Amino acid sequence: MSKGNDVEFVTIHGHRRAYVRTGSGPAVLLLHGLGCDHTTWEPVIEALSRRYTVIAPDLLGHGQSDKPRADYTLGGYANGMRDLLTVLGIDKVTVIGHSFGGGVAMQFAYQYPERTERLMLVASGGLGPEVSPGIRAISTPGFHQVMGLLTLPGVRHLGMAGLRTVAKGPWKLTRDLDEVADIYDTFKDPQARHAIRHVVRAVVDWRGQIVTMADRAYLTEEMPMWVVWGRDDRVIPVRHANTAAALATNARVEVIPDAGHFPHKDHPHRFARIVQEFIRSTEPAKYSRARFRALLRSGGNGPRLRSVSSDTA
């Protein structure tokens, strides 16, 4: 639970969804990554809420939201976010997605461009096949049974303590292991394990990521888009940020030094400034059905602008 922000609940299609809503001003939707929940955004929620209405949900199958046998595809999650925003009376948002949440953010912008003002991808999936072996392992047949043994009380507590101890070391390779420990702890819930396995199987196989934005990136031509990455990311390679810049005509890239897969947690003040600069310096996308139709017909074969790449906030 975020400090000073109560978790609220709403039931949609018979499933309870948890979310935090705080602040006022233009709406910003924060989408967390695989195995995480809204608390991953705790370090930046307060700063962002001074200028914006911040909506930070627990995606279905995560956190305090229900974990039913349900549609855990990117399209299903995008639909769920549309429905949540509709129930909350929010028409348009700047959507910011981290890791798997970046894939959901891209899918939301693709399915609902009329409701998307801007798109920010943070160490996002969907930009190349490479992904850490740990995530690929979740898609294997024996994951549920093995994790059931590894999350027995004594084993889990020992494993989490080991991860947190190593995370405190000086090595960049292990900087994200405290977050890994939090994800590991959620796997003690069999329903959570089932949900995460369904999520991963929808986007990853033994060779890596299946889903890609490459074939539809040209549709972002009318959408302000920034990409933020930690230079030391060991989960999804930082070179995927350059892929985004090459694919999307208007993407600006921010690579944060001395940050891993969770740059919003490693450098929350800088990350909040990047978000504020993004919103301040860009006009909200204005959806035009005629323009969208023309882009679809061209298939991305029209003139393309050079993307901007920067290491500074």
Tens-place pLDDT, residues 156-209: 555 545 545 555 555 565 556 566 556 556 666 677 776 777 677 666 655 556
Q: For the segment 253-268, what is each residue's pLDDT rounded down to a tens digit?
A: 999 999 999 999 999 9
| Residue numbers annotated as active site | 99, 233, 261
Cα–Cα dist 118/256, whole Å: 20
Q: Are 253 and 309 in contact (CB under 8 A)?
A: yes
Q: How large is the average pLDDT for residues 12-36?
A: 95
- How far is residue 286's CA from residue 213's CA, in Å, rounded to a whole number? 21
Tens of pLDDT along 72-116? Answer: 888 899 999 999 999 999 999 999 999 989 989 989 998 999 999
pLDDT for residue 272:
97
pLDDT grade, residue 251 (50/70/90)?
A: confident
Q: What is the pTM of this model?
A: 0.80
Backbone φ and ψ for 11, nearest 5 degrees, come out as -100, 125
Tell me what pLDDT residue 210 has: 63
Average pLDDT, the chain: 79
- How much is the pLDDT for 222? 76
Structure tokens at 212: 């890609």
pLDDT at 135 over 70: no
Give residue-wise pLDDT tens across range 295-307. Answer: 888 876 643 333 3
